[in-house]
Amino acid sequence: MKQDKLKICVIGVGHLGQYHVQKYKSHPQVELLGVVDTNYDRAQEIGNQYGVKAYRTYKKLLSMVDAVSLAVPTQSHFEVAKDILSEGKHLLVEKPITYQLSPADTLIKMAEDKGLILQVGLVERFNPAVVKMESMLTRPLFIESHRMNPFTIRGTDVDVVLDLMIHDLDIILHVARSEVKDLHAVGMSVVTGKTDVANARIVFENGIVANLTASRVADRVTRKIRVFQPDAYLLADCHKREFYMTRKDDSIKDSPDKLILQSVKEAFPNSDPLADQISYFVNSVMNGCKPVTTERDELKALKAALAIIDLIKKGCGDFHPQD
């Protein structure tokens, strides 16, 4: 695009959408033209806070912008995203792209046919601890992830697999670079009527095994991905944005009968994965680059998530404690 600033609006300014507004407002290549929310009082509150005009609906605003950030509840993603793409606007949509594969396919085809950027907000791809971990991978054999949250009402329009686990599914499917051979899953509802605790075990065609656990009824926030490979143990702490690695120290040559381990830690305290994700989207639109998370990657994560949800439905149901 041959222009100095990208004209953008944010549709949906709840818990996550407000952070989109914050990042766009401070981006030097963005002109934020408006915010939209079905709760107009909320739209006005965020608009006043960031000096942006608030709108009741997005219909008029779409004609004024080049691109849109969409952070409405997942149940509304398809209809709103379809309107956005139909108007020829680039789109960053929060995860998951949709509830099901068919509407996701429809949106992806619309974007491809119109030559538009469609990026899904899987923000952990931009976490520097994950980026560092990926750079140190040689031959992963076993991957384990734990993603836990204390309970909040936010995100309960979907179950914990689409709310939390999908981040780790996206990363693990990306680094495994292999098709899924076997999948097992178990989960239960604790408070919401949807699955609140889930565990999945994935065996890949290349032999890698992954074990994923997600819970939104935990006592603390945990975001950890561990990788075991022949030369090292790697840990990406996504919450603290820290990377750890333990491996044999081959630099010591005078102790052939002793095993010396070397542990290193790298912290990224000033990083901002959401700002990096939004900057990547802006750059993709302005320079015609392909997003780091391609639509096919996101479909793989959604497909795996839906398979896990289906297995849970067929297996362990609601949790009913004994009287």
Q: List the chain domain ranges.
A: 6-121, 125-273+303-314
Q: What's the pLDDT at 229?
A: 96
Per-residue pLDDT tens digits for 226-243: 999 998 999 999 999 999
Q: What's the pLDDT at 157?
A: 83
Distance CA 3, CA 281 (A): 16
Give the orientation angle of helix 17-25 with respect to helix 273-287, to 10 degrees. 60
Distance CA 158, CA 150 (A): 16
Please report where in the chains the tokens 């008029």 appear, as a residue.
Answer: 60
Distance CA 82, CA 20 (A): 20
Give the orientation angle of helix 101-114 with respect to helix 295-314, to 10 degrees. 170
Classify residue 34 by its DSSP letter: E
Q: Which residues of 133-162 are buried (b: 16+ CB within 10 A; e: fewer)?
A: beebeeebeebbbbbbbeeeeebbbbbbbb
Distance CA 288, CA 290 (A): 7
Report yes or no: 148 and 160 within 8 Å, Cβ to Cβ.
no
| Higher-scoring residue by pLDDT: 319, 174 | 174
112-116, 287-291, 309-313: which has the minimum mean pLDDT? 287-291
Please report where in the chains the tokens 């329009």 appear, as a residue.
Answer: 157
| Higher-scoring residue by pLDDT: 267, 252 | 267
Percent of the chain with pLDDT over 70: 91
Per-residue pLDDT tens digits for 100-112: 999 999 999 999 9
> pLDDT-based confidence at 29, cuts 50/70/90?
very high
Per-residue pLDDT tens digits for 132-183: 999 999 999 999 999 999 998 887 788 999 999 999 999 999 999 999 999 9
Q: Quick one: how far is CA 51 from the chain centroid?
A: 28
Q: Report the pLDDT averaged over residues 29-43.
A: 97
Q: Quick one: how far is CA 139 from the chain centroid?
A: 24
Q: Report the pLDDT averaged over residues 248-253.
A: 69
Amino acid at 53: K
CATH number for 6-121 (one of 3.40.50.720, 3.20.20.70, 3.40.50.2300, 3.30.460.80): it is: 3.40.50.720
| Higher-scoring residue by pLDDT: 299, 50 | 50
CATH number for 125-273+303-314 (one of 3.30.360.10, 3.40.50.2000, 3.30.420.40, 3.40.190.10): it is: 3.30.360.10
Q: What's the pLDDT at 321?
A: 46
Strand runs (DSSP E) across the chain, as ranges? 6-11, 30-36, 54-55, 67-70, 90-94, 118-121, 142-148, 180-188, 197-204, 209-215, 222-229, 232-237, 242-248, 261-267
Per-residue pLDDT tens digits for 184-208: 999 999 999 899 999 999 999 999 9
CA atoms within 13 A on the CB side of 258: 9
Instruction: Give the list of residues 6+ apart from residue 148 with CB closer than 8 angstroms, or none.
Output: 213, 214, 215, 216, 218, 220, 221, 222, 223
Calculate the alpha carbon distances from 107 to 1, 23, 93, 100 in Å.
22, 25, 11, 11
Calculate the alpha carbon distances from 83 to 31, 34, 92, 198, 237 in Å.
21, 17, 13, 34, 38
